[in-house]
Structure 1
Amino acid sequence: MISAPEMRESEDEVDEADDDLVRTFWRKMMERYGGEDAYNRTIVEQFKGPADPDIIIVVDKLLTGFDAPRNTVLYVARRLKEHGLLQAIARVNRVFDEDGAPDKPFGFIIDYTGVLKDLGDALASYDALQGFSPEDIASSVLAIRDEANKVPGAHAALLDVFKSVSNSFDAEAYARLLADEEIRAEFYVRLSAFSRAFSVALASPAFIEATKPELLKRWKDDLGRFVSLRAAVSLRYAERVDWRDYEKRIRQLLDRHVIARDVLTLVEPLNIFDDIAIEGRRQEKTESDASVADTIAHQLTRSIEEKWDEDPIFFEKFSKLVRDTIADFHKGRITDLTYLSKVRELRDKVQTRQDETDPTPARLRDDGHAQAFWGLAKRNLERVGVDDVELAADIALEISRIVQKRRKVGWQYDRDVENVIRNDIDDFFFEELRGQRDMLIDPAILDGIVDDVLASARVRLAQ
Structure 2
Amino acid sequence: MFNEDNTVEQMLIEAATQSSWQYVKSQDIPRSSDSVLVESWLLEALVRLNPITRQQAEQVIYKLRAAITCGGNYDELVTANDRFRTLLFNENTEPFGKDGEYIPIRFFSEDAVEDYCVVTNQWEFPRSSVEGGKRLDLVYLINGIPVCVGEVKSPVRPQITWANGAIDMLHYEKSIPEMFVPNILTFATEGKELQYAGICAPVDKWGPWFKDESRQHGTIESVKSNVMGLVQPNRLLDIYRYYSVFTGTSSGKKIKIVCRYQQYLGGEAIVQRVLNTYREKQGPKKGLIWHFQGSGKSWLMVFAAQKLRLQNELHAPTVVIVDDRIDLEDQITGDFTRADIPNIEPAKTKEELVAFFKQDQRKILITTIFKFGDVDSVLNERDNIILLVDEAHRTQEKDLGQKMRSALPNAFFFGLTGTPINKRDKNTFQSFGADEDLEKGGYISKYTFQNSVEDGATLELNFQTVPVEMHLNEAQLQEEFDELTDQISEEEKNELVKRTSVEAFFTAEKRINDVARYIVNHFKEYVEPTGMKAQVVVYNRDCCVKYKKAIDALLGSEDATTIVMHTAGDKADEYKAYCRDREQERKLLDQFRDPLSPIKMVIVTSKLLTGFDAPILQCMYLDKPMKDHTLLQAICRTNRKYNVDKKCGLIVDFVGVFDNVAKSLAFDEETVKTVVKNIDEIKVLIPQFLQECIDFFPGVDRTIGGWEGLQAAQQCLLDESTKTNFAKHFSRLAKAWETVSPDAMLAAYQADYTWLAQVYQSVRPVSTGGSLIWTLLGAKTIEIIHRNIDTIDIGTPLEDLVVDGDVIDMVLEQAKDNPKKILEVEKMLRLRLGEHHGDPNYKVFAEKLDELRRHMEENLITSIDFLRGLLTLAKEVLEEEKNSNQPLDKREQAKAALTELFESIKTEDTPIIVERVVADIDENVVAIVRKFKDAFKSITAQREIKKKLRSILWVNYQIKDQEVFDKAYQYIEMYY
Q: TM-score, normalised by structure 1?
A: 0.49
User: Relative to total residues, which structure has the larger helix share, 1 or 2?
Assistant: 1
Rg (Cα) greater in structure = 1
With structure 2 as the length reference, what TM-score do the two structures score? 0.25
